[in-house]
Structure 1
């Protein structure tokens, strides 16, 4: 039966990938239905702790977007890229990484991708280079963001094993930044030069390539204020998490656990933005970040529930099969996380599905932390929203998807960035943990 049940899981994930977007969450629910009613498994746990954090963080980000804060941040990013256009391939991932690190969601990259594409074209740089590594950076940064549901969930698993929330960030942030920087250096030499690309030349001859120039930014009255309030919320989360950690112990008996504190702080920040920036709260529901965030909640709910249902039913077999392998070659955890995230389409869902089982199998916290960046292989199948957006925004045709599905512009930068991030995770983790 385990083969039949695994086939149901994979079929549900395949169907979800075909549907795209929120469809993978729907298909996850269908998979749970088949596993429970047809195969007789007990339903796993719905990851409400992850979902509530995504909802609260997205509420604050959407409020900031309506207040004009996101446009203000994009204008700063554009100013940086246009000031140093030669280094667009190195600066683009820094921009998307930073925005994701602060926001806890990679969907913030949508607003910066058009700027990256335009600056690259103006400099005669192959746009696929900065666009590909920028999309990858927005995905990997989830594993280093203090607000991301994946980090918060993983920290809750590690703390009973002696690794604090701050220690996790102390490994994740530098290892992913170094990995992405080195990957960006290599990406800067990938593919033909733009003027040598046949697809670009054909599009240029047909008049399909256009330069739009710098965008005109009109600042809303509460834009800067909303950004400052949001940054204050992030600082409050990190400081509170530090204060209640066992290592610091400033608050011995915290009135709010860390997960609940993140939710409370983010909802409070959303309230303050609404009050002091005088926004129409009704407009938040139609904000692009709110829509993408709520879609992510459904995706995590369906896919993580599906994975938990299967794993809990066969934890004994999994321990027997994988336990020895992981003890002999701990780095195989990173490989498993890589391929799982490729199918699950969510860092949080992947961490929720595999990390508890890995730690039960005896994987050390050091290995788990070092391998964490591997949950970011969402770029492998060229159907993720930010990846598709990058393809659509590059009218030169350099950021394209090949005939063999996997031969696209994102695969080499992405695999390289994850491998380097994991390697530096092991090195830095050996010092910090």
Structure 2
């Protein structure tokens, strides 16, 4: 029966990927029904309510900041930085999207930076696919290092019983993913033909399809900087509180507010503070692009993680017998498994929730689990992820294009190299700290 259930899981994932967006989560729900109909026990305990709650609360604060003009202010800073050093755009662009995601806990913040990256590259005769490819990958990688991302918070709950604290996890994840991103940017700068010799670009230019829009026009709203400051204070509060209740410091030994609940409540409070202090209409928050994308992500995590966890819990014994010894002997295999799972599950949080507890149960060491963690960011494999599609659509030079073979797109090589480097650095830093 395991093969029937595996076929149902794969069919549901492929169906969702075929339609994209919220359909991924909807297809996961269909898969859960079929698993239940074929004998798999379905439980609400397999639903990642904590992950969904974190995503919802963080997105509410991000959308409030966007409604107050905070995101536009950050984009204006990005525009100013990239135009000051245009020849280094392939290095600076991924650093910008990495830091935005690290700061916000969601890769959807990259949507705001992608148009700026595209325009600056075109104006300086730089192939846009180079900075765009690594910038999109960097925004996905940073999820596994963000103090407030659902994936990191859940990962911390998995490794803490093994003696690895939240702060130690961040101390390994942040430098390994950031250094890997910077190193990969130099590779990305060598990929693809120069823009001036790209036949697709030359043809589009001759047809008058290339448009240069110039510098980003920005008019600062009164509460823009204030909203960013409030959000930053909220992040500092989350990290500080997590440190105070951690076993490393043990300053608060019996907290009445656990870490997950603290993140959700602090982020919701930040959204309320932005609404009041920046004088925005709460209804505006619901119309923000980040809010729509975030709520779509919640549905995706709900359906896909529920589907994956139901399958794994049903066949835990068979999976343990098949994979337990292999993971113990070859710990790097966990990164390979997470890589392919993330390509199908379309969510770092969903992949972490579905597979990481199983990997630990199979005998994976804390070092192996943390080092392999960046592999859950392989959302670039199928060219249907929202930020990836946005990069393709925004580049009117045609350099950021998907080939006929589907997998031959400019995000693949930077993404694989970035993950490989991050995993290798994770093993290095992990061996030094654990």
Q: TM over 0.5: same fold?
A: yes
CA distance in 2, matches of 1:12, 1:412: 27
Which residue number in structure 2 is paired with residue 5 of structure 1? 5
Give the 3 Å change call, closer, same or farther, for CA 371–40 of structure 1 in structure 2.
closer
Tell me the SS of whatever aligns to 1:155.
helix
In the TM superposition, what are the counterparts of 1:381-420 in structure 2 within 5 Å? 381-420=382-421
Which residue number in structure 2 is paired with residue 288 of structure 1? 289
User: Deviation digits for residues 269-289 of structure 1, max 9, x if unmatched?
Assistant: 111111110000011111111
Which residue number in structure 2 is paired with residue 94 of structure 1? 95
Which residue number in structure 2 is paired with residue 277 of structure 1? 278
CA distance in 2, matches of 1:59, 1:254: 25
Which residue number in structure 2 is paired with residue 357 of structure 1? 358
Which residue number in structure 2 is paired with residue 27 of structure 1? 27
Contact map agreement 1:5 1:39 (CA 8 A) in 2: no
Contact map agreement 1:32 1:306 (CA 8 A) in 2: yes
Deviation at 1:19, TM superposition (A): 1.4
Which residue number in structure 1 is paired with residue 249 of structure 2? 248
Deviates more, 1:41-50 or 1:239-248: 41-50
Which residue number in structure 1 is paired with residue 427 of structure 2? 426
CA distance in 1, matches of 2:34, 2:4: 11
CA distance in 1, matches of 2:244, 2:186: 38
Deviation at 1:39, TM superposition (A): 3.2
Which residue number in structure 1 is paired with residue 266 of structure 2? 265
Which residue number in structure 1 is paired with residue 38 of structure 2? 38
Tell me the SS of whatever aligns to 1:218.
coil
In the TM superposition, what are the counterparts of 1:193-212 in structure 2 within 5 Å? 193-212=194-213
Which residue number in structure 2 is paired with residue 15 of structure 1? 15
User: Deviation digits for residues 383-430 of structure 1, max 9, x if unmatched?
Assistant: 001000000000100000000000001000100000001000111111
User: Deviation digits for residues 60-103 of structure 1, max 9, x if unmatched?
Assistant: 00110000000001111111101100000000000000000010
Count residues with an aligned counterpart.
433
CA distance in 2, matches of 1:153, 1:55: 15
In the TM superposition, what are the counterparts of 1:67-146 in structure 2 within 5 Å? 67-146=68-147
Which residue number in structure 2 is paired with residue 235 of structure 1? 236
Deviation at 1:40, TM superposition (A): 4.1
Contact map agreement 1:56 1:267 (CA 8 A) in 2: yes
Contact map agreement 2:40 2:311 (CA 8 A) in 1: no
Tell me the SS of whatever aligns to 2:190.
coil
CA distance in 2, matches of 1:215, 1:234: 28
CA distance in 1, matches of 2:40, 2:366: 34
Tell me the SS of whatever aligns to 2:138.
helix
CA distance in 1, matches of 2:42, 2:127: 51
Which residue number in structure 2 is paired with residue 152 of structure 1? 153
Contact map agreement 1:28 1:303 (CA 8 A) in 2: yes
Q: Unpaired segments of 5 or more residues in structure 1?
A: none
CA distance in 1, matches of 2:348, 2:255: 28
CA distance in 2, matches of 1:55, 1:290: 9
Tell me the SS of whatever aligns to 1:97.
helix
